[in-house]
Amino acid sequence: MKTKKFIRKSHRYLSIFVSIQLLLWTLSGIYFAYNKIELVRGEQYRLPKDIEYRIFDRLGLSIIETIENGKKSYETYPERKPIKPLTAEQAIKITRQKTSLNPTEAILIKNVDAGSEYRGTLPAYKVKTDSKDKINVYVGYMTGDISSIRSDSWRVWDLMWSLHIMDYKERDNINNILLKIFSVLALVSSISGVLLFFNKKA
């Protein structure tokens, strides 16, 4: 009887500690679900610029990127001559120069499905490598920038993230309605767990 009483009492106190932490997790989760990170960062106060410039190097060629009213264009700098997009061979060369990986082939992608491992600017080159982790490197079609590096480790992380935020399609939206509903239900469950602890008759 003493053993059963000890186990029951230990379980009761352990439950309250877990319930309090679940309550804190749930409260913070609700805050994240109902508040857009862009608004928290103050992005709504930024005034759009009519024109912006960026100068960078692409395989030894100086290029100026012009962003005018949201539209990008590329020319050589300072000559201001039009440039051609990268070839698959150049995308492989850039991957070899900018990473420690060994590229094997480059494929130009123009469209991706929702929730794809690449969610950056299109078109882009998907450069495959001979790594054990099945790493793909995504290279900008015009810029040659390494946009993303995706591996099996990242893919598992991305799956876990989608399960955590309950966004099973796009895997990025932490303000989705499903998460909002379940976060409120979890809050009710956590609070009821804490209340049950103090209810000696429970």
Q: What is the mean pLDDT of residues 85-101?
A: 97
pLDDT at 60: 94
Task: Confirm if 121 and 53 have CB atoms less than 8 A apart.
Answer: no
* Residue 40 maps to a domain: no
* Residue 170 maps to a domain: no
DSSP conformational letter for 35: S
**pTM for the complete prediction?**
0.81
- Same domain for 136 and 189: no
Residues 6+ apart with CB under 8 A from 90: 59, 144
Domain that holds residue 23: 2-35+175-198
pLDDT at 1: 62
* Residue 143 maps to a domain: yes
DSSP conformational letter for 105: E
Number of domains in the chain: 3
